[in-house]
Amino acid sequence: MSERLTLPSPAKLNLMLHILGRREDGYHELQTLFQFLDYGDELTFAVRDDGVIQLHTEFEGVPHDSNLIVKAAKKLQEQSDCSLGIDIWIDKILPMGGGIGGGSSNAATTLLGLNHLWQLGWDEDRLAALGLTLGADVPVFVRGHAAFAEGVGEKLTPVEPEEPWYVVLVPQVSVSTAEIFSDRLLTRNSSPIKVRPVPKGNSRNDCLPVVARRYPEVRNALNLLGKFTEAKLTGTGSCVFGGFPSKAEADKVSALLTETLTGFVAKGSNVSMLHRKLQSLL
């Protein structure tokens, strides 16, 4: 079999992140606002008829069968009772441990891509439910629309925030999410807010003070970007971002900052580029 498909795997930003409390299962009750970027990895799939699932791109420190891409493919294969296999390659540009959803996005692109190639006919709800077993951020990538999220991030309400251009800085440090969420100084008692719209002044990230204290590289990026716009942390970081009304302004600031820091410019998007590509295939 030779059918091939190349799909984007976009980054996301958390435009705000409030922590309401710790649950009995150890997870935290959150409220967050997800928006996609027109920037991300690219996955290529080729169907095979022997049932083998093979990721051909190696990730340092991540065994083949532990990669979320492989886990997603195997779970979908098992639960759909599909006899087909897949070869997968990835052009990886999103940083690992950056808070912009690289692994979760890769898993979602795999689920949607294989659902299409294997002609399974699964609907979005079923794919999102399977995605949740892989990670709390996978469902928003499966659904592909900017969303206000509650619970551990899986209860999604579609929203339409503004779509500015963003400068995203990538400090060369990997932040441990578990470490941040176990920090005794982390705010865990934010008051819930109503979804439409997220009120002005509620765009903070409750993880930011802890991350900035523990990681000077992140603190430095926040301070530098903060000279030009409101600088925010996405997820538990390490990536830092700020919005601009035009590409020209974002490019200008990025050029100044990326002389010493790694970063990129990308357009915010309320419909993910993965879903726009899939729609074009129908």
Q: 97: annotated binding-site residue?
A: yes
Supply the pTM of this predicted model: 0.95
144 is in an annotated binding site: no
What are the residue numbers of the active site? 12, 137
Give the contacts of 256 (CB within 8 A, at least 6 positions apart). Answer: none
96 marked ligand binding residue: yes
| Cα–Cα separations (whole angstroms), residue 18 to 2, 29, 149, 208, 219 | 46, 9, 10, 10, 19
Handedness of CA 205, 210, 213, 216 (dihedral sign): negative
- For domain 4-159, give the CATH number: 3.30.230.10
Domain-wise residue ranges, the chain: 4-159, 165-269
Indicate the class that CATH gives domain 165-269: alpha beta
pLDDT digits (tens, 9 = 90+) for 28-54: 899 999 999 999 999 999 999 999 999
- 279 burial (CB, 10 Å; 0-12 / 13-18 / 19+) is exposed
Query: Binding residue per annotation — 100?
Result: yes
The dihedral through the CA atoms of 231, 234, 236, 240 has a sign that is: negative
Burial (CB < 10 A; 0-12, 13-18, 19+), residue 51, is exposed
pLDDT in tens, 54-84: 999 999 889 999 999 999 999 999 999 999 9
Give the model confidence (pLDDT) of 106-133 as tens digits. 999 999 999 999 999 999 999 999 999 9
